[in-house]
């Protein structure tokens, strides 16, 4: 490949390929009106009903039974989580609020927010919006260190202005200087439980 071809492909992508272009990459900042609506939602019956539906769906999915809203269980040795598919009957606002709600619930377990980012990318004819909260447990200095459930990453994804999914993953450390991570099942139950 010539130098000219290299530069051309970097600028415009290879012919026939779908290029990705970053449109926005910034820290999440919520307006006061968003926060007021979010705080009202957290104490509403709509929130309680939605969380109950999510917990029931998670519980039954673990037993191999599909329920609405659909939850995908993600399990491996050091990474566990779930992905919630968006369903229009629950509404866009509920889905977006759920994303911040999950992060707030994790913070109540002794976690700090490391970063909350908002990115928007153009992938061919799809504009993908992704918001991400990355949280780590407050670190102790005495070994073995309590890693709680490991580091937690929560993502909210939209494609062409339509919500698609929320994904929550807990990644634990296998290192000897950390205590064994707590059960992800306990984390899921806590964050999807109704708090009055």
pLDDT tens figures, 57-75: 999 999 999 988 899 999 9
For residues 42-66, give the mean pLDDT.
93
Helix (H) or strand (E) run with residue 157 in it: strand 151-159
Which single residue is written with the structure tokens 């290192």?
Answer: 175
What's the rounded Cα separation, in Å, for the pair 105 and 175? 26
Domain boundaries, the chain: 16-191
For residues 178-186, give the mean pLDDT.
94
Q: 48 phi and psi, to 5 degrees?
A: -60, -45
What's the rounded Cα separation, in Å, for the pair 181 and 171? 9
Residue 4 pLDDT class (50, 70, 90 cuts): low
Q: What's the whole-model pTM score?
A: 0.86
Report the percentage of the chain scoring pLDDT > 90: 73
Q: Is pLDDT above 60 for 8? A: no
Q: Strand 111-123 and strand 126-137: pairing?
A: antiparallel
Residue 172 has which token pair?
């634990």
Whole-number CA gyration radius for the chain: 19
Sheet holding 126-137, edge to edge: 20-27, 111-123, 126-137, 151-159, 162-171, 79-85, 71-75
Q: Is pLDDT above 60 for 7? A: no
Helix (H) or strand (E) run with residue 44 in it: none
Q: Strand 111-123 and strand 20-27: pairing?
A: antiparallel
């Amino acid at each position: 490949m010539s130098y000219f071809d290299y530069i051309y492909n970097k600028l415009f992508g290879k012919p026939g390929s779908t290029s990705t272009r970053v449109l926005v990459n910034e820290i999440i900042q919520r307006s006061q009106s968003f926060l007021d609506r979010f705080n009202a939602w957290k104490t509403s019956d709509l929130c309680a009903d939605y969380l109950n539906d999510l917990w029931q769906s998670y519980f039954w999915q673990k037993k191999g039974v599909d329920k609405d809203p659909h939850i995908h269980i993600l399990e491996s040795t050091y990474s566990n989580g779930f992905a919630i598919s968006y369903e229009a009957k629950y509404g866009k606002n509920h889905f977006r609020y759920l994303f911040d709600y999950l992060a707030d619930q994790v913070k109540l377990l002794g976690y700090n927010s490391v970063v909350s980012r908002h990115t928007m990318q153009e992938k061919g004819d799809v504009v993908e919006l992704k918001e991400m909260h990355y949280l780590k447990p407050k670190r102790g200095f005495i070994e073995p260190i309590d890693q709680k459930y490991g580091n937690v990453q929560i993502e909210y994804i939209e494609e062409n202005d339509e919500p698609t999914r929320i994904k929550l993953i807990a990644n634990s450390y296998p290192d000897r200087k950390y205590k064994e991570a707590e059960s992800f099942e306990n984390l899921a139950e806590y964050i999807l439980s109704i708090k009055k």
